[in-house]
Amino acid sequence: MFSAFLALIGLSLFHSVSSQFSPGFPYGSQMVRGVNLGGWLVLEPWITPSIFDNTGNPNIVDEWTFGQYYDRATATTVLQNHWDTWITQDDFANIAAAGLNHVRLPIGYWAFEVGSGEPYIQGQLPYLQNAVQWASQYGLKLIIDLHGAPGSQNGRVLFVSWYDNSGHRMSYPTWQSNQTNIARTNAIIEQIASMFADQADVVPIIAPLNEPAGYYGSSVLTPLRQYYYDSYGNIRYPYGTSTQSNTVVLLHDAFQSLSYWNGFETTPDFQGVAMDTHIYQVFSNEDVQMSWQSHIDTACDTQSTLSDFDLWLMVGEWSPAITDCATYLNGRGNGARYDGSYPGSTYVGSCTGLTGSASTFSSSYKTFLRQFWEAQVISYEKSNGWLMWTWKAESADEWSYLAGLQNGWIPWSPTDLEYPTICG
């Protein structure tokens, strides 16, 4: 693609125009505080389990199989209703009222292009446009995040946890091993960049790939690094070599340490590049066995790593959840490590009162959620900001920003801290 060509002729072009770069938000000087709109334009069974349960088919485990095995007309109606109701203008109004300034919107490649034999159902793009309009109306900045790529970019985490958030749950990712997959993804990023290059004041960031499976080593990381170079050209120069956009390129760390990325796409040869890291404390046996205080301490311990990096850095996904008890969090049909129902796990405790409706949460648990939320906010603001996952969930209030606001463990202003010294 375009930047691969530039790699052959040198990066002097990028350098020569770098002074013109003017992003739609003062990254590096003003804190990013935001939330993800998970489960809206990319289905995730744990966020909306009813959509999957209502199919009556246990083989429907992601958006791919939802289109593959469910009656097509019914599936289309269900999706249309979901897109109409899961996130609305009122949600954007409430996000802004909560003192947040960014929204990260996951979207799948199939919203833009569906290949032969791919069962995805389209219709998401009008809602993407709605999101841009609503963000503009309420003074929010919208990050467009390509959450699913052809062939799936993550699959399964080293045979430990399933990923259904790429749209297609599979045992091993195939995005990186098929050049056609990568070429299709590049073309979609070019399309997104061209659609919103003139709206960088509202869409200041495009994230070209969510959570690629770097834990598989060079087989993923080598093509990924080239794809990131290509994405830089496709996003920053959507109209060709003569016109530079003001859109920031947000790269996911591919589950590598930040030190792995030191010196990658840095100034002066590159401008407007940021790194996205995701921090959870629920997806291993060791995580869910920790005490409440250990969860807080672990969050606080991230500060030294986050405070020293050579690109803009944000924690693009995190949560106050401390168990994997949410229904289908580990994939539809899979249990939880916390209660020992996940293969290879050991019982820690009952999930009762730790997930589901906040009405079942004890006052001490809600106090802890507030403390843990604040410990993470304090720590992640050692970087350039954060976006919590996620705004809403049907039956997992511990993951929901909205439920946290409504039930008191998230303040209506993210700077209104009750435990400002919780990290010492």
How many residues are given for the chain?
424
With beta carbons less than 8 A apart as the criterion, state whether 249 and 144 touch. Answer: no
- Concerning whether 211 is annotated as a catalytic residue, the answer is yes
State how far the alpha carbon of 248 is from the alpha carbons of 89, 125, 205, 244, 392, in Å. 25, 21, 5, 11, 26
- Cis bond before residue 268 (omega within 30° of 0): yes
Q: Which of 317, 374, 381, 398 is catalytic?
A: 317
With beta carbons less than 8 A apart as the criterion, state whether 227 and 209 touch. Answer: yes
The CA distance from 352 to 354, in Å, is 6
- Name residue 423's amino acid: C
- In which residue are the tokens 């994230």 written? 207
- Name residue 167's amino acid: G
- Concerning whether 317 is annotated as a catalytic residue, the answer is yes
Residue 383: which of 18, 25, 28 has the closest Cα?
Answer: 28
Q: Which of 63, 190, 211, 374 is catalytic?
A: 211
- In which residue are the tokens 């966020």 written? 47
State how far the alpha carbon of 337 is from the alpha carbons of 61, 285, 290, 340, 346, in Å. 19, 6, 12, 5, 7
Residue 391: which of 92, 146, 139, 137 has the closest Cα?
Answer: 92
Beta bridge partners of 32: 385
Token pair for 400: 């929901």
Q: Which residues are catalytic?
A: 211, 317
